[in-house]
Structures are given as C-alpha cells and as structure tokens.
Amino acid sequence: MNMVFGSAHVWDPGVVGSAGGWQADPVSTVDPVPLVQPTPLILRGRTFTAANPAVMGIVNRTPDSFYSSARYPSIEAGLAAIDAMVDAGVDIVDVGGVRAGQLGDWVEADEEIGRVLPFLQAVRASHPDLLISLDTWRAEVARACADVRIDLVNDTWQGADADLVHVAAELRAGYVVSHTGGAAPRTDPDGVAYGPPGQDGAPRDDPDDVVADVIRILTEGANRARRAGIPPNAILIDPTLDFGKTTRHSLRTLRATAQLAGLGFPVLQALSRKDFVGETLDLAVDDRLEGTLAATAVAAWLGTVCFRAHDVRATRRVVDMVASIRGDRPAAVNERGVRRDPGASPG
C-alpha cells in the first residue's frame, strides 16, 4: 500500500450536496515551534552543538560523594569506570577530589592534589584524546595539574578563588562559570532568598528573582573569563542547580534555560541525581534516574549543549533523541515507511 501524507484539508459545506465535504487547503502551513539555537561549545578543536550535545561523565576521587556509585577511591576502579563511559558515548570526563556539600571531612589543597593528579595522569596515558575536566575551586590545584593537559576547569563555586580563571587561561583550557548565590565552598543552602527587600526587610523571593540573579552572575563571570583570555565558545555557563538554591529556585531556573542559552555562551547543566530532583519526587539518590532524565530532556530542548551526568549511556540516548525531535540531528536509521525496492525482502 502506497500512502502520501501531509496535505492540509478544510471542510467546505458546498462541495458534496448539503452535507459538505473535505477539500485540500493549498495555503495552510504549520508554524514551527521557536527554538533557541545555542552557542556551540568548542574545546581543543571539538565542537558540540544542539545537534551533538556533550555528555560529561562524573568521576569522584572521594570516599564520601553523595552518590556512592560514583566514588572511585582507587585509580584502577576509576579507569575502569572511564573505559565504560567511553564505550557508552561520553565526550568529557569531569574529575573531582572534594565532596561538594558540607558533610564529610575538610580536604586541604595538598590532599586534593594527591587525589586527582595521579589519576589524571593515568587517564591521560590511557585515553590521550579524551577531553578532561578538572572539578576544583582552587587555583593551586589546577596549576598543579598543568602537565596533564586539562581541557576544562569546572569551577563550581562562583569564582571563590579569583585566580582560578587566570590559571585556566594559562592552561588554554575552557572554564565553567557557576552560580551559587554567593555561598562559600562546601556549604549547603540555608534560608536562601533572592530579590529586593519587601516591607518586612527580607528579600521578597519572587520566583523570577533567582533567575535575574543567575543571569546577572553568569554574565559577569563569563565576561570576566573573556577578559582573562578564554574564548567565548570555551566559556560554559552553569546555573548550578541546588547550589545556593532551594528546590523551588532550581525548578524555576531550569525553566529559564532558554534565557541562559541566549546570553551568547554555551550552557552546562549539572542535573544528575540532585536534591531538587529528589525533593520534587520524594526519592532517595539511588532512585532519581528518571527524574534526572526528565530534567535533562527539558534542558536539552531549551538549548543546553553540555550535560554533567553519572549515567552516561542513558543521558547520551536522551540528548540524542531530543536533538532529533528538535530537528538538529537526523535519525540514525530512516527506513520505516520508505519505499522499498520491489525485489528487496521485507525487514
């Protein structure tokens, strides 16, 4: 059976007697859904766009990361995890040596270097072409890893160390600009509110106030990185959900992803198994995959080009599917309903 679809039709009451009939409407069109075309991310000559977003796999060289499955205290376990991520379609690996939140022991810079540097050297030796991100807020840690060839410095604490962006520039690496609401490294949000004072003197915390603050801080940070010498396409802006934010703040900020993508810099979203997902669905860390992937799909649709993730294979499939739905990426296979050679056997 050969069928052709796509012609628009309208009801014309005068075509088939008094009962009317359907007629082709030659002027009908379907208005496209407006989509943000995000700024590409370019690291070491590799380009990531809405058609091929980057997936950044998480490797924590810590004994106390909030998600136990991402803890790799031994170099061997970490390398095996990276091998699996590469097979699953990872583009970047993000290596950190300090837990983000306030739980756990304080880690000095020397200990952080001891955790990440030998591992980074091993990763570079086993995967010479893999893009490596270093997750740190300390300039001295990034500088200590200079010989490894760091491709991206992931500063998750809003420039707490003002020298870090300059070290990233010295390393000719990309740089992540984050928003934490001014919170100090390794602190959890407590009584967070945004916006001008209300009549009672407290911030009014209108839902849009957090978005305004995120836009302001990320724009300032990105411009600071440009002045330091980092190319705009290598400056990732990260709204940094959960950090310095309530769940309500994080959900509202996620909905504003298209606004962030319109600022002229590539957007990174670090959504994986975070507390805003857990509190929204009332789920523990181990049960947050589906919520994370839902947030990932929304962020991809709205123009995010890089996703930091624990679950690489699932994230890869979600962002590729969204890219195809957006119309940025062709389907990997296109056979269904296509006219076949009459002599070909059915699939």
pLDDT of residue 345: 65
| Average pLDDT by stretches of 10, the chain with 347 residues | 46 51 58 87 97 96 70 88 97 90 75 95 97 97 96 93 97 97 78 86 87 97 98 98 95 98 98 97 97 98 98 98 97 92 67
pLDDT of residue 2: 46
- Using alpha carbons, list the distances in angstroms from residue 270 to 2, 241, 267: 47, 7, 10
Cα gap 264→38, rounded to integer Å: 8
Cα gap 48→174, rounded to integer Å: 13
- Main-chain phi, psi angles of 262, to 5 degrees: -85, 5
Strand partners, 15: none
pLDDT of residue 7: 46
Q: Is 223 helix (H, G, I), strand (E, B) or coil?
A: helix
CB 40 within 8 A of CB 267: no
CB 174 within 8 A of CB 153: yes
pLDDT of residue 65: 66
pLDDT of residue 176: 98
pLDDT of residue 67: 61
Q: Is 200 helix (H, G, I), strand (E, B) or coil?
A: coil
DSSP-derived secondary structure letter, 40: P
